[in-house]
Every structure is written in C-alpha cells, then in structure tokens.
Amino acid sequence: MHKTCHISGAQDEADNMLRFVHAPDDGFLTPDLAARLPGDDIWLANRKELVEKLAAARDDAPSDLAARVETRMRRHLGSLFALARKAGALVIGFTKTEAGLKAGRVKLLIAAHDGAADGRRKLAHKAKAARIGCFTLLSSDELGMALGQSNVIHAGLTDVGWAKRINRDAGRLAAYLGDTEWETE
C-alpha cells in the first residue's frame, strides 16, 4: 500500500515509510514503527531530517521526536539480536565469529562500530571475500545490552532467516540516518 509523505509529498510503500500517531496519554505525536497503533496517522519518508522538520513545524510533536525514532529503531534491532541468540542463531566473540566465517556458517557479520578498527577490518575482509554482509550500526554497549554480555564487539548470525530480517531492519535504520550505501540482501 502506498502512502504519501506529509512533508515532501513523495509516495512510497508503507514499509519504507514512518508512521506517527497521537499518544493517548499526552496527545503528542509518537512513532508507530510497526504501524499498528490506533488513531489518525501522519506518514513521512524514512529520513531523519524530515522527522526533524515535522517536530519543528508542529506544536503536538516533541522536540526530540527524531531521537525517539532512532532510539526505537536501535532498540528494535537489539531485541532482534537477543531473539536470534535465544534461538541459537548467533555466535559471539572474535574467535567464534572468525571460525564461523571460515566454516561458512556465518550469514551476517556483526561488528560494533566503536570496536578496534584492526579487528573489524580483519573480519570484514573475510566476510567480503565470502560475500557476507557486515552490520556496524550499533555500539558495543548496545550489542552487549541486547545480548546480556559486556564488551560485545564481534558476532555472527548463523541463520539465513535471521540474517535477512536483521539486515532488512538495519537497512531501515541506515536509510533513516542517511546512509545511502547500505546494502540489503
């Protein structure tokens, strides 16, 4: 189903856009990333600068609306990682991730963007040679919180279904942040 952006007028599939509704408790616009909340909605193209414009133009939008959207997207990705771990579809740590890459088990490489550049580069090179995507949107703290461990820098998804789902949602966050070079599979 196509929706029209409230700010730019651009049309796109609803899955590629952001939906906002009024929160019942305070009446402020709130992000509805799953597009399930009741009420009148406002649709925007999935770009942070458009959310900032919406927040600046409306009295019923909190000034930090763009940050709220980003936080929810990051938390959602973290919850997907936690579920993948519980499903046994995730290896954690440099050594296990490297072994998974060598064995061909890793389907998506995960590297904290604030981890040491040398380790990230080494695994990213192996992933690229194997034509495996590399996810670098979360920090080690965000990954650690999602996975219930401290100092998580490297991990690998070993299930194709989980890799596709997380890569799709990561692409949504990357597009929101303006990363035009994000590759989705």
User: Which domains, ranges and CATH numbers included, belong to the chain?
Assistant: 2-63 (no CATH), 73-177 (3.30.1330.30)
Residue 25 pLDDT:
83
Residue 181 pLDDT:
60
Edge-to-edge strand ranges of the sheet holding 108-111: 90-92, 154-157, 108-111, 133-135
Secondary structure of residue 44 in the 3-state scheme:
strand
Q: Residue 58: is its pLDDT beyond 70?
A: yes
- Mean pLDDT of the chain, nearest integer: 92
Comparing C-alpha atoms, which of 167, 156, 170, 146 is closest to residue 83? Answer: 146
Please state whether 155 falls in left (phi above 0), alpha (psi between -120 and 50) or beta: beta
> Measured in whole angstroms, how far is the alpha carbon of residue 24 from the centre of its chain?
26
For residue range 145-165, list pLDDT tens digits in order. 999 998 899 999 999 999 999
Which is it for the CA torsion 41, 42, 43, 45, positive or negative?
Answer: negative
Q: Residue 179: is its pLDDT beyond 90?
A: no
Q: Residue 167: is its pLDDT beyond 60?
A: yes
Q: What are the φ/ψ torsions at residue 38 (nearest 5 degrees)?
A: -75, 160
Residue 185 pLDDT:
39
Q: What is the CA radius of gyration of the chain?
A: 18
Residue 184 pLDDT:
42
Amino acid 21 reads V
Q: Are 133 and 124 in contact (CB under 8 A)?
A: no
Residue 27 pLDDT:
87
pTM, full prediction:
0.89
